[in-house]
A = this chain, B = another copy of it.
Amino acid sequence: MALIVQKYGGSSVSDAQSIKRVAKRIAEARRAGNDVVVVVSAMGDTTDELLDLAGQISPRPPQRELDILLTAGERISMSLLAMAITNLGVKAKSFTGQQAGLITDAVHGRARIVDVVPHRIRETIERGQVAIVAGFQGVSSNNDVTTLGRGGSDTTAVALAAGLDADVCEIYTDVDGVFTADPRIVPSARKIERTTYEEMLELAASGAKVLALRSVEYARRYGVPVHVRSSFSGATGTMVVGTHGDLIDPNASHDQEEAMEDPIISGVAHDRSESKITIVGVPDVPGQAARIFEVVAGAGANIDMIVQNVSAAATGLTDISFTLPHGDARPTMAALNAVKDELKFAELEVDDQIGKLSLVGAGMKSHPGVSARLFGALRDAGVNIEMISTSEIRISVVTREDSLDDAVRAVHTAFQLDSSDGEAVVYAGTGR
């Protein structure tokens, strides 16, 4: 039948009971005749507990040792899962990242995969056994244990699916798939049936947490079909595939075919994880921005949006604002203050009370009506826009954090994404 790579996150294997439940699902997939490879994260809060232990030992533990410590988590979950599957009468074996052939560079804590040589995994499935692989971890060329950083298990799953030429990579999670907005904020949010790598990338980069950004990049590069679905139900979730061509449902009505030139809105993402820094009163001379962002990069900050005000002719001064993760704000402020005399700015402001809303979908740029409708919806909801940035398939705005939920709901409704707006959604987020 098919070769399936399944990935289960920590919340799906939080205790013995849930491990048994997951084992049953895996055994069923195997009994249905599929070759099954399973990638598993550490149980529940294990990783946080281990980090807490490390914190009790050392304020700044060496990253190499932290990697060894954290990979104990998957070692526990993967062996328990293999036991549970074996106990159901289906043979299963577990493998560390090293044993599974996940070769990475030596950058501990956020290693990149450089090769996947899954000989042992292939052998195992050829013998009709289920292979369980530790997520999040690999081995460097000098035989040191590495971790892939945040969302690492998703990346392990997609990389193995690519390396094994799997038919699909199923990412199991505690929600039913990717939604048009966070259902906790927008109760009428709809599950997206199918979307493209590009839109999924924008959604993940804009705060949708269901799938790690890096794994989507990997899936896109190797063309791995990804199925995001719930570990609690048998329902299909969200398929993430190559191009919008792949999205056309052969059973679609003429109405939908005619609509193909219209923008296809995938959903509304939001993000509360960023701060805004504003550099006030910067001399508006060539090279000034380059120098500023050199300093910011030197502080290790990942900046997101940047806005420069129009310079006031009278003073020759301008303001520059940018957003970055909360945790990067303090070192960045320190780095900028250290060169205040050189850059000659008046002052620095930091604001951690911002929210970001992103509307993601295909064909936005060629439809000026989209941004007009977005801004109108925010105005009607009384939400002030502080920054704007756009890409080919995304429009993001920064608002006050406390008006973010209202903003998400207003935009979701304005683009007719609410589930009551349509029936028989063939592919979600069409805005029809």
Name A's B-contacting residues (CB within 8 A).
16, 19-20, 50, 53-54, 56-62, 64-66, 68-69, 71-73, 75-76, 78-80, 82-84, 86-87, 93-94, 96, 99, 120, 143-145
A80 to B54, CA, bound (A): 6
Contact of A65 among B57, B94, B120, B143 (CB under 8 A): B94
A143 to B65, CA, bound (A): 22
A65 touches B50 (CB 8 A): no
Count of chain copies: 2
Contact of A75 among B19, B57, B71 (CB under 8 A): B71
A177 to B271, CA, bound (A): 60
Cβ contacts under 8 Å, A69 to chain B: 75-76, 79-80, 83
A65-B80, A69-B79 are known; give 9 further A-B pairs, CB within 8 A.
A16-B57, A58-B83, A58-B87, A66-B79, A68-B82, A68-B96, A69-B80, A69-B83, A99-B144
B50 touches A62 (CB 8 A): no
A20 touches B64 (CB 8 A): no
B79 touches A75 (CB 8 A): no
Cβ contacts under 8 Å, A65 to chain B: 79-80, 82-83, 86, 93-94
Question: In the complex, how many angstroms separate the beta carbon of A49 from the nearest chain B beta carbon?
Answer: 10
A84 touches B57 (CB 8 A): yes
Known A61-B86, A86-B58, A87-B58: A53·B80 in contact at CB below 8 Å: yes
Cβ contacts under 8 Å, A78 to chain B: 68
**5 residue pairs A–B, Cβ–Cβ below 8 Å:** A53-B80, A65-B94, A66-B83, A68-B82, A69-B83
Among residues of B, the one whose C-beta sits closest to the C-beta of A68 is B79
Among residues of B, the one whose C-beta sits closest to the C-beta of A73 is B72
B86 touches A16 (CB 8 A): no
Across chains A and B, which 10 residue pairs bring their CB atoms closest together, nearest first?
A: A16-B56, A69-B79, A58-B87, A61-B83, A68-B79, A72-B75, A72-B72, A65-B79, A58-B83, A65-B82
Question: In the complex, how many angstroms separate the beta carbon of A234 from the nearest chain B beta carbon?
Answer: 23
A83 to B108, CA, bound (A): 15
A83 to B60, CA, bound (A): 8
Question: In the complex, how many angstroms separate the beta carbon of A115 from the nearest chain B beta carbon?
Answer: 17
A76 touches B61 (CB 8 A): no
Among residues of B, the one whose C-beta sits closest to the C-beta of A69 is B79
Cβ contacts under 8 Å, A96 to chain B: 68, 145
Question: In the complex, how many angstroms separate the beta carbon of A137 from the nearest chain B beta carbon?
Answer: 11
A390 to B75, CA, bound (A): 46
Among residues of B, the one whose C-beta sits closest to the C-beta of A42 is B72
A87 touches B75 (CB 8 A): no
A175 to B122, CA, bound (A): 50
A62 touches B75 (CB 8 A): no
Cβ contacts under 8 Å, A58 to chain B: 83-84, 86-87
Cβ contacts under 8 Å, A80 to chain B: 53-54, 57, 65, 69
A258 to B93, CA, bound (A): 64
A282 to B68, CA, bound (A): 58
Cβ contacts under 8 Å, A19 to chain B: 57
A50 to B99, CA, bound (A): 22
Question: In the complex, how many angstroms separate the beta carbon of A222 from the nearest chain B beta carbon?
Answer: 26
Question: In the complex, how many angstroms separate the beta carbon of A58 from the nearest chain B beta carbon?
Answer: 4
Among residues of B, the one whose C-beta sits closest to the C-beta of A50 is B76
A57 to B78, CA, bound (A): 12
Question: In the complex, how many angstroms separate the beta carbon of A128 from the nearest chain B beta carbon?
Answer: 16
